[in-house]
Structure 1
Amino acid sequence: MPNSAHLHLLTNHFPVVGMIIVFLVLVYGIFRKQNEIIRLALMLTVLISLITIVVSNSGESASQLIEGEDGVNEEMIDPHEEMAEIASVVMYVTGGLCLVGLIIFRGEKRIPMLMSIVYFILMIGVISLMGYTAHLGGQIKHPEIIQESK
C-alpha cells in the first residue's frame, strides 16, 4: 500500500502538466470561438482543482515521512510548503470560478469572451505558481536540480 509520500509523488504532476494542457485547450477554444472547447477547459480545471486537494493533503503527510532521511534537503521543505499553499489557493479559486462559469453559462448559453480571457489570465497564474512550487519540491530530494539552481 503506498504511503503519503508515494501518493504525493504520483499526483503532484497533475496540477502542473494538467493545467498546461488545459491552458492549451482553452487557447484553442478561444481562437476557434468554440464554446464547447472552452467549456471542456473549464471542466478540466475543476477536475484538476479537486486533484490538487489530494496533492496538497498528501504533501503535508509526506513532509513528515521524509524529514531526517538521507539525501533530503530539509531547508527546501518549508519554502515548498509555503508556495504550495499559495498555489493551491489560486488553483481552488480558479477551479471555483470555472465551476461558477459552468453553472451560470450551462446549456446553450455562450461563455462571454471576457470571461474566457479572465480564465486565460488565471490559468497563467496557476501554471506559474504550480511550476515554481514543483521546482522547489524537486529541490527537496533531487540533487541534480539542486546543483542546477546554484
Structure 2
Amino acid sequence: MNDAHLHMLVNHFPIVGTILGLIILIGGVYFRSISIKNTAYFLFIIAAVFTVFSMSTGEGAEEIVEDMPTIGHEIIHNHEELAEKFAIVLYLLGVVSVIGLITNIRNHPKATFFSYAIVAIAAVAVFLSTKVGTSGGEIRHTEIRSEAVNQNSNAASPKSENNEY
C-alpha cells in the first residue's frame, strides 16, 4: 500500500465527517440536546484527526500521480492549496469542538455560545470541503473538470454557419 492508496482511504472522512457533524450539530442546537451536540463535537474532533493523516499522505500521493498523463502539476497544486485552507479550518474546528465538549460537560454558561460558534466554523469547513473534494476528484476523474464540461456543452450544441429559419 502506497501513499496514494492511503490518501484515498483517509481523505474522505474529513469531508463526510464535517458535513454529517454540521447536520447533527444543527439538530442538537435546534432540539437543545447536549448529547446530540457532543456527538457532533466528537465527529469534528475525529475529522480533524483524519485531516492530519490525509495531509501527511497527500505529498506522497502527489509524487505518485503528478507525472501521469492528463494530471498535471496545476490541478494538483490547486487541490493542495484548497486542502491546506480546509485543514486549517478543520484544526480550528477540532480545537473549538474540544472546548465546546468541555463546556457542555461542565455545564458552563458559555456552552451555548460555543455551539453557535462551532456551527459557523463548521459551515465554513463544509463550504471548503466541497471545494477540496471536487478538486481532488478532478485529479483522476477528468470527466468532472470544468474544461471537460465546457467541451461537452460545446459538442452538444452544433454550430451552423447558415442558420436560416
> Aligned to 1:46, what secondary structure does the other structure show?
helix
Instruction: Tell which has more relative contact order, 1 or 2 (C-alpha 8 A, sep 6+).
Output: 1
> Aligned to 2:67, what secondary structure does the other structure show?
coil
Q: Residues 49-68 of structure 1: matches in 2 within 5 Å?
A: 49-68=48-67
Q: Residues 43-54 of structure 1: matches in 2 within 5 Å?
A: 43-54=42-53
**Distance in 2 of aligned mates of 1:49 and 1:133:** 15
Alpha carbons of 1:149 and 1:123: their partners in 2 closer, same or farther (altered >3 Å)? farther
Q: Residues 1-150 of structure 1: matches in 2 within 5 Å?
A: 2-109=1-108, 112-146=111-145, 147-148=148-149
Q: How many pairs were matched up?
A: 149
**Distance in 2 of aligned mates of 1:40 and 1:110:** 19
**Distance in 1 of aligned mates of 2:78 and 2:46:** 26
**Distance in 1 of aligned mates of 2:81 and 2:126:** 16
Which protein shows a greater Rg? 2
- Report the RMSD for the aligned CA atoms in angstroms: 1.7
When the two structures are superposed, what TM-score results if normalisation uses the length of structure 2? Answer: 0.83
**Distance in 1 of aligned mates of 2:92 and 2:41:** 12
Compute the displacement of 1:112 (Å).
Answer: 2.9
Unaligned runs of at least 5 residues, structure 2: 152-165
> Aligned to 2:71, what secondary structure does the other structure show?
coil
Compute the displacement of 1:104 (Å).
Answer: 3.5
Q: Match for 2:149: what amino acid?
A: E
Q: Match for 2:35: what amino acid?
A: E
**Distance in 1 of aligned mates of 2:97 and 2:128:** 18
**Distance in 1 of aligned mates of 2:100 and 2:126:** 20
Instruction: Tell me if structure 2 keeps the 8 A contact 1:73–1:141.
Output: no
Identity fraction in percent: 30
